[in-house]
Chain A
Amino acid sequence: MSSDDAALDALAVLGDPVRRSLYRHVAAAPGDVTRDAAADAVGVTRAVAAFHLDKLVDAGLLETTFRRLSGRTGPGSGRPSKLYRRADGEYAVSVPPRAYDTVSQLLAEVVERAGLDTELQAAARAAGEAAGVADPVVALRERGYEPYWDCGKLRLRNCPFHALAEQFPALVCGMNLAGIEGLLGEGWSAAMDPLPEGCCVAIEGPEGVGEV
């Protein structure tokens, strides 16, 4: 099976609307998700959620861990719960086949070697500004960042440039920050503040936004 076939198989699993909703919910959640929470979020029974979540695990789109939610250990602390999270792998398919990942890698290599960080950041900032965004949270979600509020800061659970950022961290993360800065309107600010996972940028909104 070619890698294209593998990607198509994985994505075909998302063709089912319930499964797609479950995937989106788990992928965008800041922590591991229980069956019950996923079922509630999507509005299906626990059994239906379990069935579809396990299909997503089989397809390599989600992975599972087991943890006792009570926080207790030892006898009498109950069975560990099955928790779901997005799997690390990524699938890209273009029909007909195109190889933009190869192009982006080559271009990044050249930009890195030429030392054009500042120029790249300026272009990213301009592209963000040109998008003329009304609601930054919606705009970031549409671009795949999976934003969530955490202690008054907007965190981004997904890095849309993950593979490239791994290879060219300074270049790509700098570009990403500038692009996000461009997207944000009056009163918003973005800063580099990496966590172990997810996007390295943290965002603060105008006063009052994002507070619970």
Chain B
Amino acid sequence: MNDFHLAQVNVGRILAPLDSPQLADFVAQLPEINALADHAPGFVWRMVDDGGADATGLRPEDEDDLLLFNCSVWESVDALKAYVYRSDHLRVMARRREWFERLADHHMALWWVPAGHRPGVAEAMDRVALLRAKGSTPEAFTFRAPHPPPTGKAS
């Protein structure tokens, strides 16, 4: 049993408001994709807004109403990877440019948290900033350059 879990944050700037026709397909798929995450092997937790269904009500930067944010916790890098790239989630990923702006810098960060810890918005955004400033380190890393959990056990 690993004492550390993998936290994940992802920010994305939508091309139009969530209630616009352009985003309709994306919004329509959210319940299904979130349910898929909830039942995926190795899923631990995901952040939800006051609505309780997803995180689309959260804005990590007050002045930017198009910047969406999601954050979740997984048992391992492999578990998250399997959900992101080897499930129906990939179907949504392949259409990302229909809905999301291209972000010039890192928009996803991974880091290890003690099992049971639930990251907040500020903590998650700090990890994105850290990754942008320093590149992949044990404090904030990417799928391409992963770091093992602090115990040193393989993920």
Tell me if A200 is interfacial: C-beta within 8 Å of chain B.
yes
B117 within 8 A of A: no
Within 8 A of B (CB), among A148-196: 167, 169-170, 173-174, 177, 191-196
Find chain B residues with CB under 8 A from A177 CB: 94
Residue pair B94, A192 in contact (C-beta under 8 Å): yes
Min Cβ gap A32→B in Å is: 20
A117 interface hit (Cβ, 8 Å): yes
| Distance in Å: Cβ of B37 to nearest Cβ of chain A | 15
Q: Which of B45-83 contact A (CB under 8 A)?
A: 82
Identify which of A114, A116, A121, A192 gathers the most chain B CB atoms within 10 Å of its CB: A192
Interface residues on chain A, number (Cβ under 8 Å): 20
Neighbouring B residues of A118 by C-beta, 8 Å: 97-98
Say if the beta carbon of B32 comes within 8 Å of chain A: no
Complex: A114 Cα to B91 Cα, angstroms? 20
Which one, B84, B87, B95, B101, contacts A174 given CB within 8 A?
Answer: B95
Does residue B86 face the partner (Cβ distance < 8 Å to A)? yes
- B144 touching A167, Cβ below 8 Å: yes
Q: Which residues of A contact B96 (CB under 8 A)?
A: 117, 170
Q: Do A169 and B97 touch (CB < 8 A)?
A: no
Q: Write out, one digit per residue, whether chain B residues 80-114 have a CB within 8 A of any chain A CB (1) or not (0).
A: 00101111101101111110011010000000000
Known: A167-B144, A169-B85. A192 touches B98 (CB 8 A): no
Q: Considering the chains assembled together, what is the distance between the CA atoms of A196 and B41 in angstroms?
A: 12
CB < 8 Å neighbour of A196 from B82, B90, B91, B104: B82
A193 to chain B, nearest CB (A): 7
Contact B86 A194 (CB under 8 A): yes
Chain A residue contacts of B102, Cβ below 8 A: 113-115
The 8 A CB mask of A95-125 against B (1 = contact, 0 = none) is 0000000000000000001111110010000
Q: Beyond the given A169-B90, A173-B85, A177-B94, could you list 10 further A-B residue pairs with CB under 8 A, ordered by the A residue number?
A: A115-B97, A115-B102, A117-B96, A169-B84, A173-B90, A192-B91, A193-B88, A193-B91, A196-B82, A196-B86
* 18 A–B contacts, CB within 8 A, in A order: A113-B104, A115-B101, A117-B96, A169-B84, A170-B93, A170-B94, A170-B96, A173-B85, A173-B94, A177-B94, A192-B88, A192-B91, A193-B88, A193-B91, A194-B85, A196-B82, A196-B86, A200-B90
